[in-house]
Amino acid sequence: MHVHFVLAGEANLDSLRQLDPDLHWREFITGERAWVLQTFLRLRSSGLPVSLSARLPETGIAIFSAKDRRRLLSAQKFARPRALLVAIREDVGRTPFADVEIVQNPSQLRGDRTIFMPFWPQPGLLPRDAGRGDSLRQIAFKGYSGNLHPSFRSPAWQEFVASRRLVWHADAVDYARTRTSSERICWNDFTTTDLVVAVRPDDPSLHPRKPATKLYNAWLAGVPAILGPEIAYRAMRMDDLDYIEVRDSSGAMQAIDALLEHRQRYRAMIARAAQRAREFSTAAFVERWRRLVEMEFPRLAGLGRPNRKPLWLRQLAGRIAGAH
């Protein structure tokens, strides 16, 4: 079955088809492009017959971002596509008119119509310079500004960094969907990063919609990580060499002082990162996607979906079913 990746709301799909995720990584900082466009490009490079379009197709398999669900529904609400509709949920709510949903956090799995798939690692990632050894000087947060705990903007954190002669780099930008600016960020470059800090604002439910990307990006970069309490991170953790968990900047200060005092543990965390990184290479992700599109999606499509209703009616029925 032919696989269509659907990217709604983009002005020039022809130019996007020419991109290389590892060369043009700044074009993939939003979820829609990182999930839909990047997956299309990487699977096409692997030899799979896939296509990119702005509309849901009539037949085959259609993969799209849940963030585009309203735009697609508005444009095609009377359509009756026989294609298997696969929504990538990202960090938003359900897509009721979808046949299948891909989720990025294992806690989101519900029945046989949800499939867990980790978010792609950072494209074009440049790992830490091995020549830095156990030097712990440069600390970085890489992500959207709203995803950093506010305590890391406090005078206490700034004073701590200065007193330990550390360099703190908030490699961050505000999120604005397709208008998000990527000019001031270097999310791919870990060459001089000695420690990753990524602690989100407090959430009693432990961020059940968020992926574990910052953890395996750190592993791929060969950099120890201090992270907040999140379901996705804990699901991957074997022991405290994988990462250090803290709740805010106060906990991060204690963790950093401990690493400065016990360099053996810091070196052990670098070694562990190298071990865990093998599971999360781009090639490994491509193989996971290939199994989905070559085996799992055709199986689901073969189950049959008789009497296909208009998209708007499927949306309504899906909402009602989801409420029970």
When pLDDT is averaged across residues 213-226 and rounded to a whole number, the result is 98
What is the per-residue pLDDT across 124-150, written as a single tens digit (0 to 9) for each? 999 999 999 999 999 999 999 999 999
Q: Residue 307 has what pLDDT? A: 59
What is the per-residue pLDDT across 37-95, written as a single tens digit (0 to 9) for each? 999 999 999 999 999 999 999 999 999 999 999 999 999 999 999 999 999 999 999 99
What's the mean per-residue pLDDT of the chain? 93
- Amino acid at the residue 37: L
User: Are the CB atoms for 126 and 140 separated by under 8 Å?
Assistant: no
CATH architecture for residues 130-280: 3-Layer(aba) Sandwich (3.40)
Check pLDDT > 80 for residue 322. Answer: no
Intervals of CATH 3.40.50.2000 along the chain: 130-280
287: which 2 tokens?
A: 């193989």
- Amino acid at the residue 303: L
**Tokens 């989905």 sit on residue:** 292
Position 324 confidence tier, pLDDT thresholds 50, 70, 90:
very low
Check pLDDT > 60 for residue 173. Answer: yes
pTM of this prediction?
A: 0.92
Check pLDDT > 90 for residue 196. Answer: yes
Q: Which residues contact 45 (CB under 8 A, 6 or more apart)?
A: none
